[in-house]
Structure 1
Amino acid sequence: MNTIKTFLLMISMTLILLFIGGAIGGRNGAMFALIFSFGINIISYWNSDKIVLRMYKAQEVEKNSEVYSIVRELAERADLPMPKVYMINQSQPNAFATGRNSKHAAVAVTRGITEILDRNELKGVLAHELGHVHNKDILIGTIAASFAGAIAYLATMARWAAIFGGRDDEDKNPIALIGIAIFAPMAAMLVQMAISRTREYKADSYGGKLAGNPLYLANALKKLEMWSTRTPMDAKPATAHMFIVNPLKGQNMAKLFSTHPSTEDRIAKLEEQARQR
């Protein structure tokens, strides 16, 4: 199922890129977008995790740190290869997992999450992220981030083409180009939304079991929901779907096009899961 989702994601994002390229430069633009898309596919598979980690200036944590210790405990319990563990020096509490498969996975947490969660709550969050690794979600998430970034880049090119002219005069349509510049990133975000919302529930369920108590994650989500609206994060919209809670929650556009299900619903499902233990 995840292989099919990955294939559909690549096709959908490629079509959006081709559409933008064609609007900017006709056949030549479409050909450029096709080559660009092919390169993005290759780079996304092999290097998108490194790109995302570098984007947030993530630093690998020491093996004697509490975060590393918890990840190692959970990975052994889940019979997963030990992922690399990274710290992001930002105050908003958040976390994500990335990588192309379980053998090349990485888990990243912000400094803020280690400051507000107790050990059990942190265990719940990290178990959720390992749920993404176990469910093979991480490749989908990193590919979506790479494509969304590429689409945003081409959309910016479309905006400048509308201003300065991007095709022959008889074919040039500045209004259409401006429309593409506005709506193409939204289309990419809608694809991300369709992919990411279901996988959050599944990772919650898996994480609740792996941590030993679903309430660990439920309690953590309550804190993360509160702090994410109070503490801004220097996050890129293209990668928002990768985090355990939306890092852009305070922005109106992010609320309208949320890549995450309702935190209240997630907490309710985890509390129901705890009652059924």
Structure 2
Amino acid sequence: MSVLRIGLFLLTNIAVIAVASITLSLLGVGSYLDESGSGLNLQALLIFCGVFGFTGSLFSLFISKWMAKRTTGTRIIDVPRTADERWLLETVQELAQKAGIGMPEVGIFPAQQSNAFATGWNKNSSLVAVSSGLLTRFNKNEVRAVLAHEIGHVANGDMVTLALIQGVVNTFVMFFARIIGHFVDRAIFKTERGHSFGYYIVVFVTEMVLAVLASMIVAWFSRRREYRADYAGATLADRNSMIAALARLQAETQAKVPNAMPDTLTAFGISSGFSNKMMGAFASHPPLEDRIRALQNLHS
């Protein structure tokens, strides 16, 4: 599985670079240095960064279903083999109709941890998958609440929203890193025209630092969307079942059952494992106790 993920990662990045390069050519953006080669053309630089920043996030969004199936080993239920699979399909169909979205693909992925995720760029053509561990240990009311939570992500357009936020963040990380790199190259390395090797080192290091800081912004938005998905779960299913499902997840989190999902999917999983207690500002999910408390405080 790790070799497959590395291969998909490399292919995705090659495709992103190809699409971005073609887009820049069509826009007539070559170099972001001015005509003298000594200063920055900020407009060209912003376009350059925007194209690369949004191409990566949007391309990942458009292939998210395809990637999710292959990186998690999700088996799509086309024809139910068991009564439980039939119930799963019927429950997702009921919740999707209630939420006003098209019927998602429904799948099961092999994982010991109780988890689920939703993905897809189109709310009328999404994917909702649950782990085999969740189906084994949760009762049907709790599974229904988890499915409602994931349907809530789809209905709220969370995948598209976070992809756009990530695109904006990517753009400005690249933009400011290159401005800082240009300034350092001129002030310290005394480069008068073009850019020296030092520029690229500074840009690389600055991008890494800014990307870490910017990830807190994306994580903050992700946590807000998680509360909304919990509310959707409580509305589409029922509040007590949603609370019970989160409480069961909390018990497994404290037992530190390992998370089998790739990092790229944890933002839309019902649980992100136990990392949210370790580094709260970078966590894609709020602490489970906070989510449970928020539901308990809802008016009946």
Q: TM-score, normalised by structure 2?
A: 0.65
Please tell me whether Structure 1 or Structure 2 has the larger radius of gyration of its CA atoms: 2
Q: 1:214 aligns with which of 239, 242, 261?
A: 239
**After superposition, where does 1:50-69 map in structure 2 within 5 Å?**
50-64=66-80, 65=85, 66-69=87-90
Q: 2:55 aligns with which of 36, 39, 47?
A: 39
C-alpha offsets along residues 47-82 of structure 1, whole Å, 9 cap, x if unaligned? Answer: 233223322222212543032232122223334311
**1:147–1:110: structure 2 CA closer, same or farther, 3 Å change rule?**
farther
CA distance in 1, matches of 2:243, 2:123: 25
State which drifts further: 243-252 or 229-238: 243-252
C-alpha offsets along residues 82-128 of structure 1, whole Å, 9 cap, x if unaligned? Answer: 11112121111111111122211111111111111100000111111
Bigger helix fraction:
1
Q: 1:78 aligns with which of 93, 99, 109?
A: 99
User: 1:103 aligns to what?
Assistant: 124
Verify: 1:236 aligned to 2:223, yes or no.
no
Which residue identity lines up with residue 297 of structure 2 in the other structure? E
CA distance in 2, matches of 1:40, 1:136: 19
Verify: 1:197 aligned to 2:223, yes or no.
yes
User: 1:171 aligns to what?
Assistant: 198
User: 2:288 aligns to what?
Assistant: 263
Q: 2:250 aligns with which of 212, 220, 225?
A: 225
**After superposition, where does 1:244-259 map in structure 2 within 5 Å?**
244-247=270-273, 249=275, 252-253=278-279, 255-259=280-284
CA distance in 1, matches of 2:169, 2:253: 23
Verify: 1:186 aligned to 2:212, yes or no.
yes
CA distance in 2, matches of 1:145, 1:239: 14
Considering only aligned residues, what root-mean-square deviation do their CA atoms show, in Å? 3.6
CA distance in 2, matches of 1:128, 1:79: 14
Which residue identity lines up with residue 268 of structure 1 in the other structure? R
Instruction: Answer whether contact 1:62 1:68 (CA < 8 A) is retained.
Output: no
List alignment gaps of at least 5 residues for structure 2: 1-19, 21-31, 33-39, 171-193
Q: 1:132 aligns with which of 153, 157, 164?
A: 153
**1:237–1:50: structure 2 CA closer, same or farther, 3 Å change rule?**
same
CA distance in 2, matches of 1:69, 1:205: 22
Instruction: Answer whether contact 1:86 1:106 (CA < 8 A) is retained.
Output: yes
C-alpha offsets along residues 2-48 of structure 1, whole Å, 9 cap, x if unaligned? Answer: xxxxxxxxxxxx9xxxxxxx9xxx99x99986654353255235323
**1:262–1:175: structure 2 CA closer, same or farther, 3 Å change rule?**
same
**1:172–1:223: structure 2 CA closer, same or farther, 3 Å change rule?**
same
Identity %: 27
List alignment gaps of at least 5 residues for structure 1: 1-13, 15-21, 150-166
**1:206–1:123: structure 2 CA closer, same or farther, 3 Å change rule?**
same
CA distance in 1, matches of 2:165, 2:70: 17
| CA shift for structure 1 position 223 | 1.0
Which residue identity lines up with residue 54 of structure 1 in the other structure? R
**1:125–1:175: structure 2 CA closer, same or farther, 3 Å change rule?**
same
Tell me the SS of whatever aligns to 1:112.
helix
Instruction: Answer whether contact 2:117 2:266 (CA < 8 A) is retained.
Output: no
User: 1:3 aligns to what?
Assistant: none
State which drifts further: 56-65 or 91-100: 56-65
* Number of aligned residue pairs: 235
Instruction: Answer whether contact 1:85 1:107 (CA < 8 A) is retained.
Output: yes
